[in-house]
Amino acid sequence: TKNIIRESLETKIYPNPTSSSSTIEMLITESGKLTIEVYNINGQLVANPFNDTLEEGIWQGEIGSDLPSGFYFVRASINQKVHTLKFIKE
């Protein structure tokens, strides 16, 4: 099967860590509904900054501006493919 959200270099959060907000960037290789969810260290959903259908291409969004300091997991899912990134807000 085709890897919808490609690993490492093509899915990134920068700057990370940050003291304000960061950009999440990913390559979408097939159109579908992208959902971005942010979980705290206890596994609780604390933000859902994006939930919409996209065409293929490079997508960028902002995360973290409304989050308190801490360690987070950002879960990006599209077309049953899931990619999880670590995110630190200082």
Q: Are 17 and 23 spatial neighbours (Cβ–Cβ below 8 Å)?
A: no
Which candidate, 58, 51, 54, places its Cα nearest to that of 27?
58
pTM: 0.85
pLDDT for position 46: 97
Query: DSSP characters for 3-44?
Result: -SB--GGGEEEESSSBSS-EEEEEEE-S-EEEEEEEEETTS-
13-55 pLDDT, tens digit per residue, is 999 999 999 999 998 888 999 999 999 999 999 999 999 999 9
Distance from chain centroid for Cα 74: 5
Mean pLDDT taken over the chain: 89
- Over 50: is that where the pLDDT of 8 sits? no
pLDDT for position 13: 94
